[in-house]
Structure 1
């Protein structure tokens, strides 16, 4: 397998797929050791770093974005939460069509997904949420005659830059101007938190300001606690004290702060003065740090309930959970689009040749009505004629088909089939109720009535119930036609206030008439026998 064709029909040499491309260089422009611009960061330095990144020098910005994720407990936690909410979502594959060839492509892609290569690297792909982009180098391998990724290797964003001509094309740091990336070797995932250049769309660009102000507050808070958490120590020495005696007193006063003990001559005096209103001053630092943390929660997660307890109870938590689900769905959609553009077509083309259509890989929860709403709606509509295939219901509820010989729990109650007479010959065994009905129908035929009683009652019940049934069906049909999607349809059906009073009344009258007719027929039969 010396050469292959990619999804555009271009010839690709196998050697370029297996050789690593973006590797570190000792003493070069791509070094493993990173700088730490967060040390002693000031507003002026931060503004310069952000300006340089927008102008085509993003290395310091990428280093700073990584710094705050390591140093800030809150920012690191909420970023990990957002990444993991997508990294653990199900991954599914849909064939391009129902043809055997397209199903074969989908099965190949699904088999690779089952090896958990993509699952293990989704978290690294989502590093683009904070920095605007992430770059994964594909390590291709030949396995059983098939070409597939063995690994997706995360490459630090510091080793890449942007083309100054358009500000968007990602280049590998190599030489002076940079080197273009081969399309078959890298996955460049761009995560847009706002419209504009990729380098300006990462969440870290906004979070950096909150982190810097919080670091100032935390530093001031630490100094306050150090200076005012303990009483102020004042040492007094006599007018004739020597410099040596002054040094002893100073060491004693300083030692009390750290060691809480000191030895001083009897002639020296140390006084401890308490600082008033310490609690109110401490609250100021805590409130400021908490407020900045809440703003970061809103920035990253879109809400604060999952990180801080807020008033409002269950209703507020439900609303915040919906916001989190919206963000999760959008993040998963961006990852899905990147994989379907940059990975899936080449995987299929390398093994089956260029295609007109390719299978669709999807990261995310199935877009279905919640199981509770679905079951409640089905339970309400089933008595009015709604049906569904049993296999669909089992798949929907995640219940596998029972195996042969398995012990079953639940199911429909068994019904006893009543055999009917054949060629005028009565069955070998009949129940008492079957004998009564046979005699009833026999007596009815002997009276030569113009129309069977059962048919008369059935026709009358059908006429009386038709109007009520049509009204119920119309309500259901209107709810389904007005719905915009499956979720909306389920909500509308669940909210229907169906009024089957007319239908119930018609059924009651029909059953009463049937009961009376049966009694009358039984009396006629007894009279005829006597």
Structure 2
């Protein structure tokens, strides 16, 4: 059977077969596990058991930790929601391929890689790889199509992280678990996408978000349970049955049954002469104690996972939430950068090696994180600086606001003639414009520059008023200002308008 060679990050060759690449790993052949994957760890879990679970995970036995990390996503709505938000913030980014260079060979390789990442299953695989955010690592197995001219991973299967373990020496290299084999089995080259997010310095086994969020999960589960008991006891009025001193034991039993059942049935019958009294309880404040504590725990989980609380339960304004954009941008960018590294290491390099041979430089997957543009601020900057002489390319502004260049002949939105810059107005004039239309526009350019024209005239008056100590000084100073006023700019504007009017008059005849 022909073997195919991949190269690790150090350039060392790793051989594998087409059959291995095309088929899914048979994990049942590596041994029978003593514990079932269906067992629950969260059910009945007490706080005193958590340190033992975390210690065992740090030492390499991650079975219970990974089980409870999975259950936390199912049992705790807030944790599952914010963790899903963080995953989708990265997996929803449009991926691109950047070629190694501009030569034809590198462009051909980049085009093949683009076909690979544009597969629908490839997009879905990103969410499975990001499962490592909560658990510390994730393993996705690739099934290759080895029958087509270009060998390509077609199916991506999420594999339960409990099927794997870290090496005993450094706990950084992932291996397949085997019962009775403490060393484990090596992963087949070119078969697995192993994503280990670096959320903190240290070993991957201690990096999962669930390791920090587990305490909030335990405390909140007890809080909700106590709140439910509080509501059950104090949420309904106390029911007291009163019977006659001569009542028989059978009548007493009937009264007790009626008292017990009236809470759920809202109806009941009692013998004549017996009463049921409802006593309103004065106990209140369950939401102030249990509700506030549950909300506090949710906010801590939001900080752990999203880096902020404004888009979850803090009651902040919509504007604040939009600024935070659900996941803090620096966290989103770090997640995207780390996922890029995993995709390039575990998918792009093996794909290029098996189809095009080893390369000096490889194409790279990019997950560009775009910072939301503050369009109002951009508009204010342009409005203030462009009249002062700042030149800005229209294409740059369109890119910032997300608009494309209009095709030739397309109907476009334009500012009214009175507010458009002179150069743009001249471009907008068409062959059907009449002399009367031109006459109406005379003075608009000059009017737009009125502040620059009038400032040399008004400035001496402004300086006099600012420096005078009394009204008398102002009146006396006005007689001496005529020679200090510069009306040349205003005169030039009036002269330009007169020349335009003369030109239009010549056109009209």
Please give the TM-score of this superposition, normalised by the length of structure 2: 0.73
Separation in 2 of the partners of 1:234 and 1:385? Answer: 83
| Mapping for residues 498-517 of structure 1, pairs under 5 Å | none
- Aligned runs of 1:227-242 on 2, under 5 Å? 227-237=233-243
Q: Deviation digits for residues 79-128 of structure 1, max 9, x if unmatched?
A: 11111111110101111111111111111111222223321211111111
- 1:382 and 1:244 mapped to 2: Cα distance? 97
Q: Could you say which residue in structure 2 is the equivalent of 1:348?
A: 352
1:222-269 deviation digits (Å, cap 9, x = unpaired): 111111111112234566766544433332221122222222223544
1:292 alignment partner, one of 292, 297, 316: 297
Contact 1:235 1:270 in 2 (8 A): yes
**Partners of 1:256 and 1:234 in 2: how far apart?**
11
Secondary structure in 2 matching 1:146: coil
Whether 2:270 is the aligned partner of 1:264: answer: yes
Q: CA deviation at 1:377?
A: 7.0
Q: How far has the Cα of 1:388 moved from its partner?
A: 5.8
Offset, 1:47: 2.1
Aligned residues: 426
What's the offset of the Cα at 1:347? 0.6
For the aligned residue pairs, the C-alpha RMSD in angstroms reads: 3.7
1:181-240 C-alpha deviation (Å, 9 max, x unpaired): 123111110012222221211111111111111111111111111111111122345667
Matched, 1:99 2:100: no
Q: Structure 2 vs 1, CA of residues 249 and 176 (structure 1 numbering), >3 Å: closer, same or farther?
A: same
| Structure 2 residue 310 is matched with structure 1 residue 308 | no
Aligned-partner Cα distance in 2 for 1:219–1:66: 21
Give 1:352-501 correspondences, 5 Å limit: 352-365=356-369, 380=385, 407=410, 409=412
Give the conservation status (yes or no) of the 8 Å contact 2:96–2:365.
yes
- Distance of aligned partners of 1:139 and 1:113 in 2 relative to their CA distance in 1, 3 Å threshold: same
User: Structure 1 pair 115/401, CA: closer, same or farther in 2 (3 Å)?
Assistant: farther
State the alpha-carbon separation in 1 of the partners of residues 283 and 138 from structure 2: 49
1:22/1:172 contact within 8 Å kept? no
- Among residues 12, 19, 22, which one is paired with 1:18 in the alignment? 22
CA distance 1:371–1:148, change in 2 (3 Å): farther
Helix, strand or coil: the match of 1:120?
A: helix
SS in 2 for 1:223: helix
Where in structure 2 are there 5+ consecutive unaligned residues? 415-423, 430-485, 500-509
For 1:523, the equivalent position in structure 2 comes to: none
Give 3-state SS (helix, strand or coil) of 2:338's partner. Answer: helix
Distance 1:127 1:11 in 2: 28
SS of 1:173's partner is strand
Aligned partners of 2:299 and 2:314 also within 8 Å: no
Q: Return the alpha-carbon distance in structure 2 between the equivalents of residues 317 and 347 of structure 1.
A: 41
In the alignment, what sits opposite 2:215?
Answer: 209
- Mind listing any 5+ residue stretches in structure 1 that lack a counterpart? 417-504, 519-530
Q: 1:179 to 1:11 in 2, by over 3 A?
A: closer
Aligned to 1:423: none
**1:149 partnered with 2:156:** no
Question: Deviation of residue 277 (structure 1)?
Answer: 3.2
User: The residue matched to 2:156 in structure 1 has which SS?
Assistant: strand
Cα distance, 1:60 vs. partner? Answer: 1.0
Residue 2 (structure 1) aligned with residue 6 (structure 2): no
User: What is the Cα deviation at residue 409 of structure 1?
Assistant: 3.9
- Corresponding residue of 2:185: 179
* Structure 1 CA distance for aligned equivalents of residues 371 and 364 of structure 2: 15
How far off is 1:508 after superposition? 5.6
Query: After superposition, what is the alpha-carbon deviation per residue over 1:387-429, rounded to whole angstroms, capped at 9, x for unaligned?
Result: 7696x887777666777x864647976699xxxxxxxxxxxxx
Q: Determine if contact 1:24/1:31 at 8 Å carries over to the other structure.
A: no
Match for residue 325 of structure 1? 329
